[in-house]
Amino acid sequence: MTPEERRSEAGLYTALSRATPGTPQARDAAERLDTFRRLLYASHPELQLQRADFAPAGLERWRSLLSGDRAALLEFFVLPKGAALFVVRKDAVFAFRLAMDEKALESAVRRFRQQLAFRDVTEGALAQGLGRSLMGQAGRALANTTDWVISPDGPLWEAPFEALEDSAGKRVLETHAISYSPSLTALCAMRDRSRAPGRTELSLFALANPSLVEAEMEAREIAALFPAERTEVAVGDRANAEVFLREAPRAELVHVAAHAEFNAASPLYSSLQLGPDGAGETRLTAAELLRVPLRARVVVLSACETARSGSGEGEGLMGMGWALAGAGAASSVLSHWKVDSAATAFLMLRFHMELMKGQTPAGALRAAALATKKQPAFAHPFYWASFAVFGDGLR
């Protein structure tokens, strides 16, 4: 916003706050503020998404997000005394009341995350029980689907749905490509906001924190998949905020192998540690990422050995994903928990290979995760369910 726009908006808010509610003066002030905001968002479309200032998109608009008859939108609502699941398909909408309340869901999800994050071999029982509690009633509504957009709520932001089991005893990832969004209306705004492809100068910008084991090798192996003249790799002392801010807006794909610290209390203060401490300006918060003019189809935060604990809050992931969406990224790939370097390097190389075959981000992550799962050393879901797609992952 320009200084004049900031002053105008502040003046309109002041006029509205000073008017007596229900009076003609209040209605006039509200109308003038509404008109100003519509014009403001027409000039700065990214601002509307950053502020999440949009009305519900409506059923037909939500259905337009579906890529076909095999796609479904799953939106959860969690309340203190209960929870609900709404399933949107091309031809119908279904509603289900879940038996678990907020406290029960929070307890079950947290135990499941801890089991996965600490490689507990007994996690299968809870994977099955939680899967049935969340989606068991929706079996018919979700029949013949292969692509899901999940909008969690409350404690469900901590739930790695990919690792849950269905009624047939299969992991959800085995049969479905999954992406996450704060809401269906937010996803509509993300799709409208994302810039058209083909306006980038680089196919890939990759950055690797030199203090991370295998990070530079991961970045260089991925970069080798792309034409050298359209690839930029920042390693060593070039792994810093200045280089990221200059190069990331030029790239169609952005891959960052770095430390991440997730702040559940203030999600927009979650941060990326791009380089070692003492090496200059190497830290970027989610709030700072929000202002980077990205044009990327996908931003990958391959946060190897993150500072996030095994039982960290899901709101940190949402804050980082929301920041990247507000900055202009169509989708992002983020870690659920502190991850293993070797498994991550294996998974990420295959993820980019699948993208190059024309897969959607959600489809590419699923294929990469399944390839990782087949490796004997990485068979536990700690390794293959550690990443999730946030945003517009189905195109």
Give the sheet arrangement for strand 251-257, strand by strand.
93-98, 82-88, 71-79, 147-151, 177-180, 387-391, 331-335, 298-301, 251-257, 202-208, 231-234
pLDDT tens column, 190-211: 787 765 444 789 999 999 998 8
Is residue 54 domain-resident?
Answer: no
Residues 167 and 66 in one domain: yes
CB atoms near residue 182 (< 10 Å): 20
How far from 246 is each of 217, 238, 251, 272, 373, CA to CA, in Å? 22, 11, 10, 16, 36
Q: Parallel, antiparallel, or unpaired for β 177-180 and 147-151?
A: parallel
Say what the pLDDT of residue 321 is.
84
* Cβ atoms within 10 Å, residue 246: 12
Same-domain status, 91 and 203:
no
Q: What is the pLDDT of residue 314?
A: 47
Whether residues 178 and 200 share a domain: the answer is no
Separation of alpha carbons 44 and 1, rounded Å: 8
- pLDDT at residue number 173: 94
Identify the domain boundary among 126, 158, 188. Answer: 188
Contact 385, 373 (CB under 8 A): no
Q: Are 86 and 94 in contact (CB under 8 A)?
A: yes
Does residue 48 belong to any structural domain of this protein? no
Task: Judge if 66 and 82 occupy the same domain.
Answer: yes
Query: Do 259 and 305 lie in a common domain?
Result: yes
Query: Residues 69, 174: one domain?
Result: yes
User: Based on the domain organization, do 235 and 324 belong to the same domain?
Assistant: yes
Quick one: pLDDT at residue 99? 86
* pLDDT (tens digit per residue) in 76-109: 999 888 899 999 999 899 999 998 889 999 999 9
H/E stretch holding 391 reads strand 387-391
pTM over 0.75: yes
**Low-confidence residues in the chain, pLDDT < 70:** 45-46, 49, 52, 194-198, 264, 278-280, 304-318
367 with 338, same domain: the answer is yes
Let me know whether 140 and 249 are in one domain. Answer: no
Domains: count for the chain = 3
Structural domain containing residue 259: 195-391
Residue 314 CA to residue 263 CA, distance in Å, equals 9
